[in-house]
Amino acid sequence: MFVLVNLKTYDCDPVAVATAAAEVAERTDARLAVAPPTTAVERVARTGVETWAQEVDPIAAGSNTGHTLAESVADAGAVGTLLNHSERRRTLADIDGGIRAAERAGLETVVCANDPRQVGAAAALGPDAVAVEPPELIGTGTPVSAAEPAIVEDAVSAAAEIDPEVAVLCGAGISTGEDVVAAADLGAEGVLLASGVAKADDPRAALEALVAPL
């Protein structure tokens, strides 16, 4: 089971969270990764935890200002990137360009999508995984696996119909080990979460609780 923690720009210490995640990862069979803000990617990668970028742009090296180059985050230690998070929506063309840029840099990709229909469209672009995240549930503590389990099941079916090699992650409202198990029971191969760890009083305890049932 893949557990990807997006730290967004929450007021937390990304290195402290990453250090805790690296230690928890050593004691579980789950695959645990952290996506810090871009400026913290290198520092987080030094902790030894699997490190992801929160976004890369559909660009090549050249005259680009204010963009994130896939090769730059790869050089900093990232092994993957999120694309099209609900807080950073992209056009279909830009998602495709982001996937190609990530491939060029040797990064894995998780494309976020609102619903099963968007999951199918994203899967057709050939990412490594798609995360289904109804925006209205993000940050609520109410997991999509409980509020709308059919969305997860339909997302898994939509991705499989287009490309069985594209994994489906479950996002939005994930915060407990029970949520992770429920996502797995619905066919998801991983979860994408943020505030359940980034805003926790004790991120290490939150991470341990997430992977304990696995």
**Distance from C-alpha of 22 to C-alpha of 123, rounded to nearest angstrom:** 30
**Other CB atoms within 10 A of residue 66 CB:** 5
Nearest 5°: CA angle at 40, between 82 and 100?
A: 30
**Predicted confidence band of residue 39 (pLDDT cuts 50, 70, 90):** very high
Q: Is 138 a residue whose pLDDT tops 70?
A: no
Q: Is 135 a residue whose pLDDT tops 80?
A: no
Q: What percent of the chain has a predicted confidence (pLDDT) above 70?
A: 94
**Distance from C-alpha of 113 to C-alpha of 134, rounded to nearest angstrom:** 8
**Predicted confidence band of residue 126 (pLDDT cuts 50, 70, 90):** very high
Tell me what pLDDT residue 172 has.
Answer: 76
Segment 51-98, tens digit of pLDDT: 999 999 999 999 999 999 999 999 999 999 999 999 999 999 999 999
Tell me what pLDDT residue 141 has.
Answer: 65
**Distance from C-alpha of 155 to C-alpha of 151, rounded to nearest angstrom:** 6
User: What is the Cα 82 distance to its own chain's centre?
Assistant: 6
Q: 83 with 110: CB under 8 angstroms? A: yes
What pairing do the DSSP bridges indicate for beta strands 129-132 and 108-113? Answer: parallel
Please list the active-site residues. Answer: 85, 133
- Helix boundaries (H) for 26-91: 41-45, 70-75
**Distance from C-alpha of 26 to C-alpha of 35, rounded to nearest angstrom:** 18
Tell me what pLDDT residue 139 has.
Answer: 62
**Predicted confidence band of residue 150 (pLDDT cuts 50, 70, 90):** confident
pTM: 0.94
Q: Is 134 a residue whose pLDDT tops 70?
A: yes
Which segments within the chain are labelled E, that is strand?
A: 2-6, 31-35, 50-53, 80-83, 108-113, 129-132, 167-171, 190-193
Q: Is 137 a residue whose pLDDT tops 80?
A: no
Tell me what pLDDT residue 57 has.
Answer: 98
Tell me what pLDDT residue 140 has.
Answer: 62
Identify the structural domains of the chain with CATH numbers, from first to last. Answer: 2-211 (3.20.20.70)
Q: Is 130 a residue whose pLDDT tops 70?
A: yes
Identify the top-confidence range among 148-152, 173-177, 193-197. Answer: 193-197
Task: Give the DSSP letter of residue 36.
Answer: -
